[in-house]
Amino acid sequence: MCLPSPRARAADLAGIALSSACLVHCLALPLALLVAPALGGWLRLPEWLHAAILMLALPAALIAMTDGWRRHRRGTVPLFAAAGVGLLAFGLAAHEGWLTTANPETADRLFSSAGAIALVTAHLLNWRQRHVAGHR
């Protein structure tokens, strides 16, 4: 019986460790997303946080999408960003009571979550399209 070389064993151990870390990450992230709304009852954030997030997200999206548009000219990317910022604004409006809804807290969470997902999608698409455009 031939034993694996130390190098092969180290490679196997590294592969196991990396795969395990990936598995933990892949399982922990969805769990954290599921638990996050429940933590809102225990963790009180400042009232101004919604507005601050929107005020930071807006210029970041504008700068990134403008640069991306100059390079890749893909119209869907800024549309996702605009939708994301708009949904975050609706979330802020629901949170502040400026939007008439049956349940402002639920509306805030839904609009803000959808806006965040749309913005992340826009930024990922923008990054990818800039990368693709750079190789043409």
Query: What mean pLDDT do residues 39-45 have?
Result: 63
Q: Domain spans of the chain?
A: 1-44, 45-136
pLDDT digits (tens, 9 = 90+) for 72-89: 888 998 999 999 999 989
Helix ranges, the chain (H)? 6-39, 49-72, 76-96, 104-134
Mean pLDDT of 4-16: 60
In this predicted structure, the answer to whether residue 9 has a pLDDT above a threshold of 60 is no
What mean pLDDT, rounded, does the chain reach? 78
Q: What is the pLDDT of residue 44?
A: 66
- pLDDT > 50? residue 4: no
Mean pLDDT score, 37-46:
65
pLDDT tens profile 104-122: 888 988 898 888 888 888 8
Please compute the mean of the pLDDT values over residues 30-36 and round it to a whole number. 66
Of residues 51 and 46, more confidently modeled: 51
